[in-house]
Structure 1
Amino acid sequence: MREQDTPTGGRHVVVIGGGIAGLAAAHRLLDRGERVTVVEASDRLGGKLLTGEIAGARVDLGAESLLARRPEAVGLAREVGLADRLRPPATATASLWTRGALRPMPKGHVMGVPGTASALTGVLSDEGLRRIERDAELPRTEVGDDVAVGEFVAARLGREVVDRLVEPLLGGVYAGDAYRISLRSAVPQLFEAARTHDSLTEAVREIQAKAAGQRQTGPVFMGIEGGVGRLPLAVAESVRARGAEIVTGAAVTELRRAIGAAGAGSPAGRWRVVTPGRVRHADAVVLAVPAPAAAALLRAEAPAAAAELATVEYASMALVTLAYRSAGITLPEGSGFLVPPVDGHTIKAATFASRKWGWIAEENPGLLVLRTSVGRHGETEVLGKEDADLVEVSRHDLREATGLAAVPVATRVTRWHEGLPQYPVGHHARVARVREHVGALPGLAVCGAAYDGVGVPACVASAYAAVDQLGGDRAGLDALITNPVRSLHGGAGE
């Protein structure tokens, strides 16, 4: 087996994983003067960020937007030359397909939790609205160290709030079950407010008042002309140009601390990173892979961390992209709609991509691009269907919701097997334990969607914090803990 020692010219850091977290870590490491090698198991870079084409139109086949109210993702895009490609959505209005009709997405809520019953008029039944008003009369509900979003909100406001609004909003982020997802991790600002308020609606109103007092300007979300999937490719191009080595198609099979005079006894520690046919020696390692892969690699040196990561569950999903000739087609207003599971439909959301992202329409006049998402945590039957069947169920639901009966000129199904980590009750404590175990090993750090948030800004922030931690600076990590990156729909009034 070929042995590769540390490159000359400084400390060598190997980043395992070529998704956006790993590439962001490489970018940060280069800023700090390190020598960097990125090793990716698959034949492509970008992880869950992927661009493609349908009927000649450039589209995202993975995540399609960046939360712009955090600086990490849009800042990285600017640093790697995409500043002039950043685009806000052409329209930010959306709907709910519930109780037999498309209804305007309510305003004045925090992840679907309203400050007043009137905020959900038209979405909830009269009984559901009356149930919200009982919140002020109920005794305080203790949230303890953590609680499930759905459990807590249903106890205060009734299940209809959860089933009709909280569930589809959370499902759009995690593809999970609101009755299992952690309030502390998914909606941290609401968790903190709930700890000090007797009334949940009062807590929401306080969050809204604070948000109004520090109202941010500019768009909530940003896309990238040509697709958000351009971001990891631009980061990769940037880090290569600055001297980093990027190796694809090289699965790491073993991660061990080196031994000997120049190995584990050195100040920073030394690591052996084994891929088929080659051993790389590194002064430090950033592990930026999904939890199951991280667990396998940490089993020898950090068995307690590996055991924790092995318990992380993932949700699979599929995106169905459809292209139509736009002549004669009229769609409802807005950028698309979310679908509560309680209504019994197959799709969980639909995006009118050509309308949401103006550059798609500008580049492809006469073409209409839509996409639906299918699959939630625990849903195995629907994802077992053939691609053609997923296209048909998507067309059926689109026809029921919008009246769209036209035949698409092209379709494309993109499956994301175990694509989204789940954040159940106690997730924050599990992450803290993992980092404690990993932190006991000099020259090792972890980052990615399994820890601090599933959105792109969260992954970038997690990567930066991991790199800073390797350099002895915990400020970024402490900031993530005290000010988590909110979910995409976690802001007041969004």
Structure 2
Amino acid sequence: MSRPWRVAVVGGGIAGLAAAVRLRDRAPAGTEITVYEQSGALGGKLRTGELAGQPVEFGAESFLMRDPAGGESAAVTLIRRLGLAEKIVHPTVGQAALAVDGGLRPVPGGTLVGVPGDLERVATVARPAVDADRDGGRPLLGPDEDVAVGTLVRARLGDQVVDRLVDPMLGGVYAGRADDLSLVTTMPALARAARVEHTLTGAVRAAQAAAPRAPGAPVFGTLAGGLSTLVEAAATASGATIRLNAAVRELTPTAAGWRLTVGPTRDPELVEADAVVLALPARPAARLLAPVTAEVATTIGGLDYASVALVTLALPNPELPVLSGFLVPATEGLLIKASTFFTTKWGHLARPDGIALVRASVGRYGDETSLHLADADLVATVHRELSGVLGVALPAPLASHVQRWGGALPQYAPGHGDRVAAARTALRAAHPTLVLAGAGLDGVGIPVCVRSGETAAGEIIEALGGSGS
């Protein structure tokens, strides 16, 4: 007797919600989709809040408009699917700065995540090595080679380019260090070009040429009303049953599919499903996988994470430069690693009363003692350091907010992609109806997470045979 499919999506971040929408769109009619979220809210690191009567992002603030091949990003495609395209807005100020030598200097153009394609353009910020980037007569990387970003760039261009350009750029995205992060995972376009090109600057130019951007085309976008509108629209469009405060504690294979143990130990709920998408951070996913496949669990659970805090200040009529914000190299010795001038960068947030929203990011991988500070001390330190970098005494904040994200940002060591591919291959061979998705596996950023969830949904549909019988 035929019956509808039952698919459980464990994790209510954007990867899990994208999986649920794709399942609703492409699985057989009547498919029962349930999203289980351990916390009391959907969205994961997408969270729009309010400060001084103004909407502000307490998590991710924007998405890339284009994918690495130059087409529309998965985030934009999903936004169009959800009927939110008219809400897309772009930065009105795009120029950012680097805080070096006690002042602000514009981030040089022509770089790829800080790696320059033209050494002369970065000379105002960093001095390349004297014999920089000579052609050695062979490609920079072998066919299957992966290295830390810092290892490659230091060898080719010297320490200053890494410390003053690449490290703060990567730190702003991953809260990690260039010397620890995988080139293939964090900068895949550059890695592909480095398998052909003989110089690093040549590889940067080749990577940029492979995905040309029309002059004036926006790089980033966000949604008027905040990114939580994306979360809400995806949850609605999925038609899924949403279970909040519903921790999945165990996952057990059965003859017909899977049994999920949900809720507290004293009063568990047992739920049957034909297939499961695990859209969780690596360590919670590994805990559920351990009884199912210890080998895959060990691989996935080995991924480390960085913790960060986002400190947002509402400042009355501050003197701010016309910049989107600035990045801070670790060598500057500041607590702040990045700052965004929200109401300058995003024109739709500008206020006639002159109140400005400024956000600072605190916390670097391996050096997170600053996160032990109390909220009030974090706010005071951020306010003092912002004043120092800008060279003006900023007014006292009218309001402030501290958002702590523990274990928020995956740290992808070299070889990460190969390890994940091997784990997925092993899991697919043993349990094709259990699929993994999320930033811990595929990379950070809203488009990557959306694509990860959608790919997982496609694998589930294929594993179940494309029909609901």
- TM surpasses 0.5: yes
The amino acid across from 2:244 in the alignment is T
Q: Contact 2:322 / 2:344 at 8 angstroms: preserved in 1?
A: no
**Pairs within 5 Å for 1:33-432:** 33=28, 34-70=31-67, 71-124=73-126, 128-129=127-128, 131=129, 134-136=132-134, 142-144=140-142, 145-212=145-212, 215=214, 218-239=217-238, 242=239, 244-259=240-255, 263=256, 270-276=257-263, 277-326=268-317, 329-362=318-351, 365-402=353-390, 403-432=392-421
Q: For 1:454, what is the secondary structure of its paired residue?
A: coil
Q: CA RMSD in A?
A: 1.9
Post-superposition shift, 1:141? Answer: 7.4
Post-superposition shift, 1:10? Answer: 1.2
Q: Deviations over 1:284-334 (max 9, x none)?
A: 1100011011000011112111011110100000000000112xx321121
Post-superposition shift, 1:35? Answer: 1.8
Alignment match of 2:15 (pick from 3, 10, 21): 21
Q: For 1:122, what is the secondary structure of its paired residue?
A: coil
Rounded to whole Å, the distance in 2 between the matches of 1:377 and 1:345 is: 14
Residue 450 of structure 2 corresponds to residue 452 of structure 1: no
Shift of the 283–209 alpha-carbon distance from structure 1 to 2, 3 Å rule, reads closer
Q: Contact 1:117 / 1:132 at 8 angstroms: preserved in 2?
A: no
Out of 135-144 and 334-343, give the one that drifted further. 135-144
Q: For 2:248, what is the secondary structure of its paired residue?
A: coil
Rounded to whole Å, the distance in 2 between the matches of 1:365 and 1:256 is: 57
Post-superposition shift, 1:452? Answer: 1.3
Post-superposition shift, 1:442? Answer: 2.6
Q: Deviations over 1:123-169 (max 9, x none)?
A: 02xxx24x165312657575342100001100010011000000011
Q: Contact 2:139 / 2:196 at 8 angstroms: preserved in 1?
A: no
Out of 87-96 and 159-168, give the one that drifted further. 87-96
Q: Deviations over 1:154-186 (max 9, x none)?
A: 001001100000001101111101101001111
Post-superposition shift, 1:396? Answer: 1.4
The amino acid across from 1:115 in the alignment is G
Post-superposition shift, 1:250? Answer: 0.8
Rounded to whole Å, the distance in 1 between the matches of 2:59 and 2:130 is: 36
Q: For 2:134, what is the secondary structure of its paired residue?
A: helix
Q: Deviations over 1:213-253 (max 9, x none)?
A: x64763110011122232112211222xx3x2110111001
Q: For 2:133, what is the secondary structure of its paired residue?
A: helix
Q: For 1:471, what is the secondary structure of its paired residue?
A: helix
Q: Contact 1:50 / 1:230 at 8 angstroms: preserved in 2?
A: no
Rounded to whole Å, the distance in 2 between the matches of 1:235 and 1:201 is: 41
Out of 440-449 and 155-164, give the one that drifted further. 440-449
Q: For 2:18, what is the secondary structure of its paired residue?
A: helix
The amino acid across from 1:102 in the alignment is L
The amino acid across from 1:226 in the alignment is G
Alignment match of 1:30 (pick from 19, 24, 27): 24
Post-superposition shift, 1:119? Answer: 1.3
Post-superposition shift, 1:379? Answer: 1.6
Q: For 1:136, what is the secondary structure of its paired residue?
A: coil
Structure 2 residue ranges without an equivalent (≥5): 68-72, 464-469
Rounded to whole Å, the distance in 2 between the matches of 1:60 and 1:208 is: 30
